[in-house]
């Protein structure tokens, strides 16, 4: 039976040391009727994924959000491994029985250390976050998911005050509710 909850797949290798991702998880846990929080590094400290379990989780939810900090202009490595091992041929794509992700609303929720203006063609890092996340967009398009615009909270490296972090919480919840 499908859940009407949103599955949040959190991929942060040091969630307990996190500032914003930990705060978001703590807030999401207050709403067990709305969200299922699945923290990959906590579920798999040895990084050996239970593929069948992960595929069942995806099959059971129509809204899936991948929450992670921006690492080297991409995601933490366990999330890439998750894509490689969970989104398999015959299940996520490539056969008549595949496409189990087809039509599911999928989005990213990203915490970024840099300020938003730094992700610009005229700045040091040259590319927008939208450009940097295109591989995610293409991957989900390939498996026929309904890829939605991402949520990003910028400037975490310089703004770790409680007030700054707290400002992100209603923004994130509103994003989730809009899926």
Contacts of 177 (CB under 8 A, 6+ apart): none
What is the pLDDT, as a whole number, of residue 162? 87
Backbone angles phi, psi at 132, to 5 degrees: -70, -25
Give the chain's largest Cα–Cα span. 51
Bridge partners, 91 (sequence order):
none
What pLDDT score does 137 carry?
A: 97
Please report the pLDDT score of residue 131 as a whole number. Answer: 96
Q: What is the pLDDT of residue 1?
A: 65
Q: Domain segments of the chain: what residues?
A: 3-177
Over the chain (179 residues), the average pLDDT of each successive run of 10 is: 90 94 98 97 98 97 97 95 96 87 97 91 92 97 96 87 92 97
Q: Which residues contact 79 (CB under 8 A, 6 or more apart)?
A: 9, 11, 40, 66, 68
Model pLDDT for residues 5-38, shown as the tens digit of each residue: 999 999 999 999 999 999 999 999 999 999 999 9
Integer Cα distance of 73 and 134 in angstroms: 11
This prediction has a pTM of 0.96
Q: What is the pLDDT, as a whole number, of residue 161? A: 83
Domain spanning 3-177, CATH architecture: 3-Layer(aba) Sandwich (3.40)
139-143 long-range contacts (CB < 8 A, ≥24 apart) are 139/83, 139/87, 140/101, 140/106, 142/93, 143/87, 143/92, 143/93, 143/99, 143/101, 143/102
Distance CA(126)–CA(121), nearest Å, equals 4
């Amino acid at each position: 039976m499908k859940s009407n909850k949103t599955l949040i797949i959190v991929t942060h290798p040091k969630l307990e040391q996190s500032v914003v991702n930990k705060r978001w998880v703590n807030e999401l846990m207050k709403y067990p009727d709305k969200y299922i929080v699945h923290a990959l590094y906590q579920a798999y400290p040895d990084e050996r994924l239970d593929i069948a379990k992960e595929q069942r989780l995806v099959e059971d939810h129509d809204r899936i959000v991948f929450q992670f900090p921006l690492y080297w202009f991409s995601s933490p490595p366990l999330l890439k491994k998750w894509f490689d091992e969970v989104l398999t041929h015959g299940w996520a794509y490539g056969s008549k029985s595949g496409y189990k992700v087809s039509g599911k609303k999928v989005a990213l929720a990203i915490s970024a250390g840099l300020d938003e203006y730094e992700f610009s063609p005229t700045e040091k890092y040259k590319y927008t976050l939208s450009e940097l996340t295109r591989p995610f967009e293409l991957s989900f398009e390939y498996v026929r998911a309904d890829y939605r615009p991402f949520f990003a909270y910028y400037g975490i490296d310089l703004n770790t005050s409680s007030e700054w972090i707290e400002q992100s919480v209603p923004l994130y919840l509103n994003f989730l509710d809009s899926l």
